[in-house]
Structure 1
Amino acid sequence: MNFPLIMLILLLITGSIALLDRTVLHRHRAPGDQGPWWVEYPKSFFPVILVVFCLRSFLVEPFKIPSGSMIPTLLVGDFILVNKYTYGIRLPVANVKLMDINSPQRGEVMVFRYPVDPSMDYIKRIVGIPGDIITYRDKQLSVNNVPVRMEPNGEYTYVESGLKFVYSRSYTESLGNHRYNVLINPLEEHSIQLGGVLPFPHHENCSYNDRGFTCKVPPGNYFAMGDNRDSSSDSRYWGFVPDQNIVGKAFMIWWNFSDLKRIGLSIK
């Protein structure tokens, strides 16, 4: 469902009726008389829809985490807030950038439109910016031929859908100004499942083998990976994130029905 488009359509409908009533229809009513329901309802809803549309389009938009690809940073069922203007002001629905503010940085958690199907929103961590050489080999991430520091952080277990118990090892990575935890499944031998790699734009920038891959990020694109490294569909499989697909930067968990202690946590 394209919620921004639906909001825009409702905004145009209610705004048009409110404007029509203000300029034409009110002249045919006695002073103090209300208009018909199909005029009064849109007039009442128009200010509310306008405020919500502007907030979601230019300031903050809520999202719900549907999968475990960002565990342990984000859990299934987390409701998060995304800053819409951190990476620039964009035209609603068309997502055309009107003004640059900041560029995405390594280590930030970003929401973007899935390159394979832009009607879907994805959330991953940025590990590569334009010009970077990203290598992920034998479960070790390297940026520009420099291994990203990984500190062991104990064991981590969770239950997937279908009551599947998953055992992983947790590590703290340091990338840019960000420190965050990632999960590595010691039972998963390969760094990437080669059969799952799709043909994607700039595929020639990447080389794959049984131990992993190396990619050079092209201009205007970013490389994104999930923190749950062995259970994430990310740039390893479907390629780079174009700048025009960016939605915003995730910065806070505002609700979780299963764990109220997560409310208000900042996203590292």
Structure 2
Amino acid sequence: MENRQADAVYRGNLSRLLEKVHAERGLDMAQYRPRYVERRLSSRLHALGLHTYRQYATYLDENPDEYAKLLDTLTINVTQFFRDPTVFELFRKDILPAIIKDKSARHQRMIRVWSAGCATGQEPYSLAMSFLDAMGSKADQFLLTILGTDLDRNALAAASRAEYDLALLDQIPAADQQRYLDVHGDHFSIKPRVRRHCKFEYLNLFEDRPIHVVDVIFCRNVFIYFNRAEQERVLGVFWSALARGGYLVLGRSERIGAPVSQQFELVSGRERIYRKPLNML
């Protein structure tokens, strides 16, 4: 206990550093235990030869690229199927039925989904399985397209192959495993009936032509890598991309700033789900 207290005094005020990171990048660390954050930060200080949080704060000001390394360290940014199960539980239980009901009532067949920062494809395939399950016997009545975009071309190539190590199988609900996967020895693949709804493209959110008229955007644990001005710019892209009544899903440690948040309706604060109003002036 004494060593821990001495270490905390030696490094300085952790709260001030976390407030800085939140102000600069919008990362809310309230969900993490202080001791966990201290251990993660310690690895960055050690790597840079620094001793105090104040020194590290100065280093962040002088070297903005360090934010990416810090955020990787803090968030353990590992992509996986159905990441944060409670997000997908809410999405499948409440949001998907609402989307399908609204599309049916309007006699609209097209459903478009955008996974921004899709990495090696686990999120788009999780979304495809979720939609197919929700549509059930009505699946042929809709034209479902899920677009996964990323800056990493190697990751996009892996996503297109749709083959994954068997160790990842437990991330997928048992019912979805039976319906949507084929197991081959030490790996499994996504069945064609799921794959045909997914496509993958390189896209830079700041430079490339934006996507339009999508019903759902998942952009999770990507947003925190941008500064406030960049976040507002990307939110503008998402706002323009979303159809009226469309949903935006962010990472659980990400928040929309006050000016922009007033444009969206809050669906779930805990799960960071927002909606573009259906009825707009």
Larger radius of gyration, structure 1 or 2?
1
Higher helix share: 2
TM-score (normalised: structure 1): 0.26
Highest RCO, 1 vs 2 (Cα 8 Å, sep ≥ 6): 1
Higher strand share: 1
TM-score (normalised: structure 2): 0.25
